[in-house]
A and B are shown apart, each in its own frame.
Chain A
Amino acid sequence: MLRVYRCLLCLYPAEHRYNYSQEMASVFCDACTDKRAQGLVALISFYFRELAGLIQGAFGEHLQGLLGSRRWTLFAFRRFHMRSEFRFPKSTTALMVIILAGVVLAIEKAKAIQASLPYTHPEVGPIRPAQFTFFPTIALLFLCFYAAGAIGWAVLFALRRSGVHRLAAVSADATQK
């Protein structure tokens, strides 16, 4: 897992990697050992949190390098940042799985009933069950969001590599001279 973590650290700008990657990997190792002792669920949620944190952090670092502003990540001027005391109960996950199983079962039952009924309206045409269009649409939406995110990140990364963010400093120097 440490190898994967080190690979993901490559998403960060070179300067950040140089200064903090070794330390981050060391903290990740310590936290990993700790979470492993707490059990599989804690370890998996820790991996997900780390993955999300790394992607978000790398994006933030690139964005900050490009925009040259640190306010948006350090200070809560976008919204009130205090989190509520509400904790998502773990039993809800089990209940959600049961509900999902119930929905799938109901769909299968409905399909069986539909197949057994005679086809009465030939002019309307066959009605497609919702699950045939719903799940692919959701998947397509997710795909579109991820693609948009990836494209945004790539554009920012390319701009950062091109050094366009330094132009303001260069023109300021030129006017001073």
Chain B
Amino acid sequence: MEPFPLTEPVLLILLSLAERPRHGYSILKDVEKMSEGRVLLSTGTLYGAIRRLLDDGWIDRFEEDKSSRGRQAYRLTAAGRRNLQLEISRMRQLARIASLRVARKET
């Protein structure tokens, strides 16, 4: 199965976790910051995506030690990181083709 392209919320969630492990609210805030307020995830969308990423083994869940509230945090697995890199190279190639075509049209 060719699993690409990813939806934008899923891509942003993966990018957020690529930096460091995060808990739900931290992902929500980071996605908003990364997209400059353009993508505002609801908790329903976030946890729907998280559940499916967990099922696919792209991320895993663990309990934060330092947190007093015993919150669950999420981190990217090796498979998740590999798939994210594949998606980024796909996008890079797409962007390269797009810029070539647009440049050709302008000249």
A residues whose Cβ falls under 8 Å from a Cβ of B = 16, 19-20, 23-24, 26-28, 30-31, 34, 49-50, 52-58, 60-61, 70-71, 73-76, 80-83, 85, 87
Whether A81 touches B7, Cβ cut-off 8 Å, given contacts A23-B24, A24-B24, is yes
B47 touches A81 (CB 8 A): no
Whether A31 touches B44, Cβ cut-off 8 Å, given contacts A70-B55, A76-B5, A85-B38, is no
Q: 10 more A-B contacts (CB under 8 A) besides A20-B50, A57-B42, A76-B6?
A: A16-B51, A19-B51, A24-B44, A24-B47, A56-B44, A58-B44, A70-B56, A76-B5, A76-B7, A83-B8
Q: Which residues of B contact A57 (CB under 8 A)?
A: 42, 44-45, 47-48
Q: Which residues of A contact B29 (CB under 8 A)?
A: 34
Give, as a whole number of angstroms, the nearest-CB distance from B76 to chain A.
Answer: 15
Report the interface size for chain B: residues with CB under 8 A from the other chain: 33
| B25 adjacent to chain A (CB < 8 Å) | yes
| B104 adjacent to chain A (CB < 8 Å) | no
A26 touches B71 (CB 8 A): yes
A49 touches B8 (CB 8 A): no
Q: Which residues of A contact B85 (CB under 8 A)?
A: none
State in angstroms the CA–CA spacing of A34 and B28 once bound together. Answer: 12
A52 touches B42 (CB 8 A): yes
B6 touches A28 (CB 8 A): no
Q: List 21 A-B contacts (CB under 8 A).
A: A16-B47, A16-B51, A23-B24, A24-B44, A26-B25, A27-B24, A27-B25, A27-B43, A49-B40, A50-B42, A53-B43, A54-B42, A54-B44, A55-B44, A57-B42, A58-B44, A61-B51, A71-B3, A74-B7, A81-B5, A82-B8
